[in-house]
Amino acid sequence: MERVLILGGAGRIGRSVAADLVTHTQAQITITGRDPLGTQVAQHLGPRVQFQALDLADEAGLTKAIAATNLVIHCAGPFHYRDARVLQTCIQKHVNYLDVSDHRSFVSKALAHRAVAEAAGITAVINAGVFPGISNSMVRQAVEQLDQPERIHLSYIVSSSGGAGVTVMRTTFLGLQRPFEVWLDGRWQTVQPYSEPETVEFPAPYGRTPVYWFDMPEGFTLPKAFPVETVITKFGSVPNFYSHLTWIAAHWFPKQLMRHPAAIEFLAHVSHRMTRISDRFSGIGVAIRLEVRGQKDGLPARICSTLVLPDTAIAAGYGAGSIAQLLLRGQLQKPGVWPVEEALSTRLFEQSMQVRSVKINQELLKQPQLV
């Protein structure tokens, strides 16, 4: 019997991953956390799920838990604060690894272990949620249809809380702390967080919605995976006043305040309380809009892909759960440490999404139709 350990599995994202595995695998699943209410979460998920109280600072307990499993799924964010200890332990214990990380500092730490993971025969896949995650595979799916990709533009919208917990709110405000580098016109350039708004046409029910520069790990990994000149990653929220509040936090609040842990905690908890109210009328969905420009059959071409799902946390469960399923079945074997777009083939991605009734709409336009 395959055994899966989900670190942070009692949280909103972690329990969505566990639910996906309950549906699509026969694995025995252990979810962890520091909150004793995790037992109730496990009971709700069914008899193949159990809860184990575990603090990641408990190195001995963590090592023992990892050694007793076949796959570790790291959902214990925010990943801004995390080191690569979990991944290192998985490599040492010869256990495959998967995470839903969402920050480039963590990605850099993880990718530094590629060679040792490859030598150990361990497959480690990072950034495996919805964005990053499903979004990365949508990019690969589109890029592979062009003869020469040149420009990737990713836009994301989340409704209210997205069905996620306070950790995701922390992640949002942590992403506003510092300028970051982006790949523009063939070189790394620095941009300010939540700057340069542009209005993007998303599918219903979102329509035309503003999005802003946001530091996403795919902005760091996609230029290394594909020979493109530009990668843009922008993010927004609905109702739109959440985007306005985030813009104010990014541009009006003192920088030192935004770098203070107590301020981040205050903003995260206030935002979470606000979104719990707006969830009732705005929903908790997510929309992704991807545009890849390049050359096809000697002509300029553009591929536009869109995806809308009604629950952001469940969508993240689809992303990580589908890759976990492939790892458990042995269908995904690529020793080393890889972001999703370098690990998962388009064929397996499309099969996994079809099984989960996830529909990605895609349109290819060549020169005569381009404006």
Quick: pLDDT tens for 249-260: 777 788 787 777
Domain with residue 10: its CATH number is: 3.40.50.720
The Cα–Cα gap between 82 and 266 comes to 20
Residue 124 inside a domain? The answer is yes
Report in angstroms the alpha-carbon separations of 293 from 23, 318, 365. Answer: 37, 27, 10
* Domain identity same for 99 and 178: no
* Domain identity same for 223 and 322: no
- Higher per-residue pLDDT: 262 or 192: 192
Gap between the terminal Cα atoms of the chain: 55
- Cβ 169 vs Cβ 188: under 8 Å: no
Residue 191 inside a domain? The answer is yes
* Domain identity same for 86 and 148: no
Residue 111 three-state SS: helix
- Higher per-residue pLDDT: 242 or 217: 217
* Domain identity same for 11 and 155: no
pTM greater than 0.95 (yes/no) = no
* Domain identity same for 149 and 123: no
pLDDT at residue 271 in the model: 80
Average predicted confidence (pLDDT) for the chain: 92
Residue 68 inside a domain? The answer is yes
Quick: pLDDT tens for 144-184: 999 999 999 999 999 977 776 676 677 777 778 889 999 99
* Domain identity same for 269 and 159: yes
pLDDT at residue 257 in the model: 75
Kind and range of the H or E element at 238? Answer: strand 230-238
* Domain identity same for 350 and 301: no
Please give the residue range of the domain that contains residue 262: 134-309
**How many structural domains comprise the chain?**
2
Kind and range of the H or E element at 167? Answer: helix 166-174
pLDDT at residue 124 in the model: 98
Tell whether the model's pLDDT for residue 328 goes beyond 70.
yes
Domain with residue 215: its CATH number is: 3.30.360.10
* Domain identity same for 274 and 335: no
* Domain identity same for 275 and 149: yes
Tell whether the model's pLDDT for residue 247 goes beyond 80.
no
Q: Taking each helix axis from N to C terminus, what angle separates 218-225 and 134-143, rounded to the nearest 10 degrees?
A: 30
Quick: pLDDT tens for 40-72: 999 999 999 999 999 999 999 999 999 999 999
Beta carbons within 10 angstroms of residue 132's beta carbon = 31
Tell whether the model's pLDDT for residue 186 goes beyond 90.
yes
pLDDT at residue 259 in the model: 79
- Cβ 225 vs Cβ 339: under 8 Å: yes
Beta carbons within 10 angstroms of residue 1's beta carbon = 7
* Domain identity same for 305 and 334: no
Listed range (6-20, 96-110, 124-138, 272-286) with the worst mean pLDDT: 272-286
pLDDT at residue 367 in the model: 65
